[in-house]
Structure 1
Amino acid sequence: MDTSINIILPYDRPVENQQDPCKVVYLLHGIKQNSTDWTRWTDIEAYVKENGVALVFPEGYRGFYTDMVYGPAYYTYLSKELPDLVCKMFGVSSRREDTFVAGLSMGGYGALKLALRNPERFAGAASFSAVTDPLDYSLNMGGPLSEKEAPAIWGEDLKLQREDDLFWLAEKTAQLPEAERPRIYS
């Protein structure tokens, strides 16, 4: 996908084939923010240095981290392409127990969806003020999506697919053995 990302590493430069690759957290922004907000409004760089964890801030625009019907495939990018790229280029761990995702608002929805749909990749997810039902939020609760954006994301019928429904995903994931479920923090 042709988009931008910001990355903060706990070491001075990327090192391929690191002996001890660091943990990684993907931080997803909300619908009214962008990928720079986590670095502009927090002291997150100090956290990286103190804890030896890499942070990845992908640009999600206003697509609810979903493979859009009429637009980019954000979910595929975040669940497959980006983690593979980050591990290869920046020497971070690809192990499940070292990989986490977190997000704010729309990003909280994306974080929960990524972890629940990919429990083999993400050990945990944290959501801050997550939008748990993006269609209801967008159409009935005064969410900021325009009349053109919602159909572009979910189609003309404005129907949430099961794989985008956090409640269905939570029920499905609950059937896994406890050790295989991602830890959820909200």
Structure 2
Amino acid sequence: MAFLQANIFSNVLQMEVMVNVILPQKTEKAFGTNQAGKTEDIPVVYLLHGMHGNHSVWQRRTSIERYVADKGLAVIMPSTDLGWYTDTTFGMNYWTFISEELPAICQELFPQLTRKREKTYAVGLSMGGYGALKLGMRCPEKFGAIASLSGALALAEMLEQFEELPNPAYWTGIFGDVHQFRGSENDPIHLIQQVDVAQAPRVFVCVGTQDPLYPASQYAVQKMKEKGIAVTYEEGPGVHNWDFWDHWIQRVLEWLEE
């Protein structure tokens, strides 16, 4: 595998953005690490970070490079700050960046990446799980599969307790009037209810049984099943931490191959 650290300029965000990239590479090494390497139509995973993370956190906190070494997958790990994969009210359009500009830049810089929907995936944890679901439900023509690990998938319910949230100015800066969040284009449950089932990607949701977001994942899965979306739900012991995500990202990668 090749591991690349890239500084790219985003015209949408009007700033430099860091992106870490794992690419298949043909290698001939000892100790069973030979890899055939692909040079075209490589399946790609957009791997999204959560709050307090950035482009480097998946690489530093998990063994993601080792996990994909024999799978022929490219992994794109962008930094999207604390923007919740949303076109924010303060003018930072993280949704447009992640859904439109970043894939176009990656295809320009790495032409060996696939352009096929069925080989393009979005995966994320916590805030990134929200982002992955949002990509799949709002852009079903672009993603063949999405996965949420401990995702914030019932965000409207959380924002209903807005006055109790720390730093309420932050949330209004991201989403605007949070009292009007339910039913908006940023509400994941609303997006589930609005998506065309015939076009929807297949979905994988996992969460730890001691995770505060455990009810949110169950609720979102219930809504997806009611809608008729193909969803796989799995749970296990764990809380909202990297021990859980390092273990379950391996299961997500297996599921992508199924």
Please state which band the TM-score falls in when normalised by the shorter chain: 0.7 to 0.9
Instruction: Say which of 159, 181, 184 aligns to 2:200.
Output: 181
Residue 136 of structure 1, CA deviation: 3.9
Residue 156 of structure 1, CA deviation: 4.3
Deviation track 1:52-105 (CA, whole Å, cap 9, x = no partner) reads: 111011112111110101131111111110011111211211110110001100
Q: Retained in 1: the 8 A contact 2:128–2:151?
A: yes
Residue 27 of structure 1, CA deviation: 0.7
Query: Aligned residue pairs: how many?
Result: 178
TM-score (norm 1): 0.86
RMSD (CA atoms) = 2.3
Give the equivalent residue in structure 1 for 2:147.
Answer: 126
Question: With CA pairs under 8 Å and 6+ residues apart, which has the higher RCO, 1 or 2?
Answer: 1
Unaligned stretches of 5+ residues in structure 1: 13-17
Give the equivalent residue in structure 2 for 1:26.
Answer: 46
Residue 11 of structure 1, CA deviation: 2.0
| Distance across 2 between alignment mates of 1:24 and 1:143 | 39
Which secondary structure state, in structure 1, belongs to the residue aligned with residue 54 of structure 2? coil
- Which has the larger displacement, 128-137 or 60-69? 128-137
| Distance across 1 between alignment mates of 2:106 and 2:89 | 26
Alignment of 1:124-163 (within 5 A): 124-137=145-158, 140=161, 146-156=167-177, 158-160=179-181, 162-163=184-185
Residue 167 of structure 1, CA deviation: 1.1
Is 1:66 matched up with 2:86? yes
Is 1:53 matched up with 2:73? yes
Residue 144 of structure 1, CA deviation: 7.4
Larger strand share, 1 or 2: 2
Q: Which structure: larger Rg?
A: 2
| Distance across 1 between alignment mates of 2:41 and 2:163 | 43
The one-letter amino acid paired with 1:96 is R
Change (3 A) 1:54 1:182: same
Change (3 A) 1:152 1:118: same
Q: Retained in 1: the 8 A contact 2:120–2:142?
A: yes
| Distance across 2 between alignment mates of 1:58 and 1:19 | 22
Deviation track 1:148-170 (CA, whole Å, cap 9, x = no partner) reads: 21111111455326211111111
